[in-house]
C-alpha cells in the first residue's frame, strides 16, 4: 500500500475487466487467531487476511501465551495452550474494533489481568456495549482515562452465565459474551430480536464446542453451556464480501465493465449488499457455489448496469452495516433516490461514516440528505473533482476512490494508508482490472 498522503482515482477511459480473488474475510481471520489461542493444540489457517487489524490480533494471541507462526502468504499456525495467560504488556489492538471486543470477552473468562489499548480512532469507539454484559457475568473493568473508552484493564475469571437480551444487532457483542461464556459457570443465553452475523457460532462448533441456536421471531436464541474446551482445527478463510464489494462496485458503475471476484463468502447474513444491488437492477451473477470451512462461497460477477434508487429495508442493516459507504457511492450513479435508514450504528464505526460519506459525496457534486439515523442519496451526474477527508477510515477512502473511477473528474482521498487495515493490495488489485489509482 503506498504511503502517499493522498491517493487519486481518475475516470476510467475504458471498461474494467478481469478476474481477481478477494482478500480473506476479516471476521473469520480475527476469530481464527483468537479461537486458536484459546484452544488446546494446533490451528492451521489458510487464506488469512494479512491486514494491520488482523496482525494486531495475531500479536495479541501471542501475548496471551499462544505460539503464532507465519508459514507463508496467508498461511499461519497457532498453537494454543488451552487457555489465555496474563500478558506481560499492554495489548495494543491498533484500529481493530472487532479484535479488541472479542479479545476482551475471551480474556474475561480466564483468571488473567490484561490492559487493552488502541490507536486514536479506536480510543474514540464505545466499549461499554461489551464490558456491560461482561460485568454482569462477573468480570471487572478499570477505565484508565474516560469511562467507555480505551484504555481499559480487565480482571477476568470466576464468571457466571447470563440470560442476555441484545437490543443492538451486533456480532461483536454477541461474540464477546459467548467467548466469556465458554469459561463461565452455568448456561449463557443470548436472545437477538434481529439476527447478526453467526461466524462465532459456526466457528465454535468447528473448534469442538456445542452451541444451540433456535429461531425466535425474526431473530434467534443462542445457548452455550460453560466449561467447554476448544480443540485446534483447520480454518480455511473465505473471501471477504465486504472487500469484494469494491471491485464489484467499480464493475457496476464504469461503462462496459465486467469484473469477477472469486471465492467470495455467501453467508446469507453477509450478502445484504448483493441483494440490495440486485433490487436496484444490478447485473450481478454468482457461479461455482460450493462449501468451504462451513461457509458457502462462490464467484461473483458484476457487469455495468443501469441502477435505480430504492428504499433499502432497515432490517437489512445488520447484514451489511460495513457496506453502506460503498452502497452510497454506487447509489450516486443510480436513477432516483436511494434511501438508507436505520443505520445509526455507522456513526460509531472507525469514524462517523454517515457524515463523512455525506460530506464526501456533496464535495463530488452529489445531492445527499443527512438524517440522524441514515441518509438519502439522489442519483445523477457525479462531477468529482474533490479531495475527500477520510478521518483515517479505510472504507470511506476506498468508497470514494471507486466513485472517482466513474465520475466526470478525478477524486482524491486523504490519509489512504489506513486502507491496509482491511484490504492490503487494494490499489494493485484495482490496477489489474484497469483502474487508474495512484498517489
Residues with a catalytic annotation lie at 322
DSSP 8-state secondary structure symbol assigned to residue 388: E
Q: How many residues does the chain have?
A: 439
SS3 of residue 247 by DSSP: helix
320 in Cβ contact with 309 (< 8 Å): no
Q: How far apart are CA 253 and CA 231, in angstroms?
A: 46
H helix and E strand count, the chain:
13, 24
Tell me phi and psi for residue 201, to 5 degrees: -60, -45
Peptide bond preceding 99: is omega within 30 degrees of 0, i.e. cis? Answer: no
Give phi and psi for 13, each to the nearest 5.
Answer: -85, -5
Query: In Å, what is the CA distance from 105 to each residue of 114, 121, 285, 287, 418?
Result: 11, 21, 38, 38, 26
For the chain, the straight-line distance linking the first and the last C-alpha, in angstroms and rounded, comes to 10
C-alpha 409, offset from chain centre: 30
How far is Cα 257 from Cα 170, in angstroms, rounded to an integer? Answer: 35
DSSP state of 89: S
Amino acid at each position: 500500500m503506498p504511503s502517499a498522503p493522498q491517493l487519486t482515482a481518475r475516470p476510467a477511459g475504458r471498461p474494467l475487466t478481469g478476474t481477481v480473488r478477494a482478500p480473506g474475510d476479516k471476521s473469520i481471520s480475527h476469530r481464527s487467531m483468537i479461537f486458536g489461542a484459546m484452544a488446546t493444540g494446533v490451528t492451521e489457517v489458510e487464506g488469512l487476511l494479512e491486514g494491520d487489524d488482523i496482525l494486531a490480533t495475531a500479536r495479541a494471541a501471542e501475548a496471551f501465551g499462544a505460539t503464532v507462526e507465519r508459514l507463508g502468504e496467508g498461511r499461519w499456525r497457532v498453537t494454543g495452550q488451552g487457555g489465555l495467560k496474563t500478558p506481560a504488556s499492554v495489548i495494543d489492538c491498533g484500529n481493530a474494533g472487532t479484535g479488541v471486543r472479542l479479545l476482551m470477552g475471551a480474556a474475561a473468562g480466564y483468571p488473567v489481568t490484561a490492559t487493552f489499548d488502541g490507536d486514536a480512532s479506536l480510543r474514540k469507539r464505545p466499549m461499554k456495549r461489551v464490558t456491560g454484559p461482561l460485568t454482569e457475568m462477573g468480570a471487572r473493568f478499570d477505565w484508565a482515562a474516560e469511562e467507555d473508552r480505551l484504555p481499559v484493564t480487565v480482571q477476568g475469571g470466576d464468571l457466571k452465565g447470563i440470560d442476555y437480551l441484545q437490543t443492538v444487532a451486533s456480532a461483536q457483542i454477541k461474540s464477546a459474551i459467548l467467548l466469556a461464556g465458554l469459561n463461565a459457570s452455568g448456561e449463557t443465553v443470548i436472545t437477538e430480536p434481529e439476527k447478526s452475523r453467526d461466524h462465532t457460532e459456526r466457528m465454535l462448533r468447528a473448534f469442538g464446542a456445542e452451541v444451540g441456536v433456535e429461531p425466535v421471531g425474526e431473530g434467534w436464541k443462542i445457548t452455550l453451556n460453560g466449561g467447554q474446551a476448544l480443540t485446534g482445527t483447520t480454518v480455511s478463510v473465505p473471501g471477504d464480501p465486504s472487500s469484494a464489494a469494491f471491485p464489484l462496485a467499480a464493475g457496476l458503475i464504469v461503462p462496459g465493465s465486467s469484473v469477477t471476484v472469486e471465492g467470495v463468502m455467501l453467508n446469507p447474513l453477509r450478502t445484504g449488499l448483493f441483494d440490495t444491488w440486485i433490487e436496484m437492477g444490478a447485473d450481478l451473477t454468482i457461479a461455482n457455489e460450493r462449501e468451504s470451512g462451513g461457509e458457502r462461497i462462490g464467484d461473483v460477477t458484476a457487469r455495468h448496469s443501469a441502477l435505480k434508487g430504492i428504499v433499502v429495508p432497515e432490517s437489512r442493516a445488520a447484514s451489511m452495516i460495513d457496506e453502506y459507504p460503498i452502497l452510497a457511492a454506487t447509489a450516486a450513479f443510480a436513477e432516483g433516490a436511494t434511501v438508507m435508514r436505520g443505520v445509526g450504528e455507522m456513526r460509531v464505526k472507525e469514524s462517523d461514516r454517515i457524515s463523512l460519506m455525506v460530506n464526501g459525496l456533496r464535495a463530488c457534486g452529489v445531492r445527499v440528505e443527512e438524517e440522524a439515523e441514515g441518509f438519502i442519496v439522489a442519483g445523477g451526474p457525479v462531477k468529482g473533482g474533490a479531495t475527500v477527508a477520510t478521518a483515517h477510515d479505510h472504507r470511506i477512502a476506498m468508497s470514494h476512490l471507486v466513485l472517482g473511477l466513474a465520475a466526470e473528474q478525478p477524486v482524491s482521498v486523504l490519509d489512504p494508508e489506513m486502507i491496509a487495515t482491511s484490504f492490503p493490495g487494494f490499489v494493485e488489485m484495482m490496477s489489474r482490472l484497469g483502474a487508474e489509482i495512484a498517489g
